[in-house]
Amino acid sequence: MVLRVSIESSGESIDLDGLTDPACTEIKGIPHSEVLLKFSNAFMAYDPEALALARDQLAKEISPEAMVDTAAIASNFQRMVRIADSTGIPVESMGDDMDAMVEELNEQLGINKYVSAANSKKR
Amino acid sequence: MTEINYRDAQVPIRGGFAEAHNRYWKRLASAGAWFSGAERVAIAREVRQASSCSLCSQRKAALSPYQVDGSHDTASELSDTIIEVIHRVVTDSARLTKPWFDGIIQQGLKVEEYVEIIGTIVNLFSIDEFCRGMSIPLNELPEPVAGEPSNYRPANIVEDGDGSWVPMCPNTVDSGPESDLWEGRTGYVIRALSLVPDEVRTMLDLLETHYINNSQIWNVKHCPRGTLSRIQMEVVATRVSSFNGCFY
């Protein structure tokens, strides 16, 4: 959702369709998305060799500092999902327009099919 | 106390990480609201054990985790109920259900204790996952510090959690001991642990270090360190959350 708002705010037209598809290797229009996705995939696959390759590529293509921040963001979102899943929190309403945009995005990306939707999609 | 530093990492890691992680290590070792320092460190040890638990592996592979009975491979003397909470949240959180949560509470765990366990799990896990992402050895857990839990429970609590499983502070907390937690209104994922306010304080400290200050999340122009654009940051956040089946 924050991503969608970020993109709209940037005034760019970017197709997010592949973002939740592990087979998607690049989001056209987002610089270095390929290596960012490569790192994320290796991180979530618990594949140390692929992770090492992705780290090296990230450091070379963007910067070592960006590589550190990518690991930090990934680890943060390993945490946030567990908070949501273990406390059964609903998704808050952000107003009719935003809620409609969220619903549209959830459909587009297949997020409504996630198991955890049963707990969060209730308000 | 064990001092965390990342000086031996393959690339420079800005000092903010070690500072924030040391702040949490100090808190982890000390008595919390509902658990002693020794119990909190035991919870942390069990978080690390969960990833190699054979029961958790079998459950993860099963169509439903509730089809597989057995005992967890443990690393502590914590109760079976607490160990079940830790292992399930670490290894298979997307398939947690309200009946599972209700069963945990019926086994005698206080909801306040449950929230402190969740806070301990997720904060420790995020630090460990950062180390894994960077191929840095996990930090040695701290030695527990003697002390008694405070049994502190905020006075101003929404008992039904607005439909969540756990009670929490109201969306707006303008005064009192919890007024420092967030400004104005905030999301449920921030409020979720507020039955134990220090868990939120740690969460927000680590959130700012690893990702972004809570007050700036919806400021989509905000790019705290300039190493990645905000859109690039959100690509990583979204892909990782997608793997986790995170609807929220």
Q: Is residue B59 part of a domain?
A: yes
Q: What is the pLDDT of residue B195?
A: 98
Which positions in chain A touch B113 (Cβ < 8 Å)? none
3-class secondary structure, B51: coil
pLDDT tens-place string over residues B26-81: 999 999 999 999 999 999 999 999 999 999 999 999 999 999 999 999 999 999 99
* Domain-embedded: residue B135: yes
pLDDT at B129: 98
**Residue B230 Cα, gap to closest chain A Cα (Å):** 7
B185-215 in b/e form (b: 16+ CB < 10 A) is ebbbbbbbbbbbbbbbbbbbbbbbbbbbebe
Low-confidence ranges of chain B (pLDDT < 70): 1, 246-248
Would you say residue B227 lies in a domain? no
Contact A5 B89 (CB under 8 A): no
Profile chain A (123 residues) by mean pLDDT over runs of 10 residues: 62 68 85 96 96 97 97 96 94 68 66 65 50
Is B123 among the domain residues? yes
- The answer to whether the Cβ–Cβ distance between B241 and A123 falls below 8 Å is no
Cβ–Cβ < 8 Å for B51, B244: no
Q: Given CA atoms A53, A55, A56, A58 in this order, what sign does their dihedral have?
A: positive
Neighbours of B170 (CB within 10 A): 15
Please check whether residue B247 lies inside any domain of the structure: no
Give me the number of domains chain A comprises: 1
Judging contacts by C-beta atoms under 8 Å, the chain B residues touching residue A83 are: 118, 122, 189, 192-193, 203
Which domain covers residue A115, as residue numbers? 2-119
Full domain range(s) for residue B108: 15-217
Instruction: Report how many domains make up chain B.
Output: 1
The torsion of the CA quartet B103, B106, B111, B112, rounded to 10 degrees, works out to -130
Indicate whether B232 belongs to any domain.
Answer: no
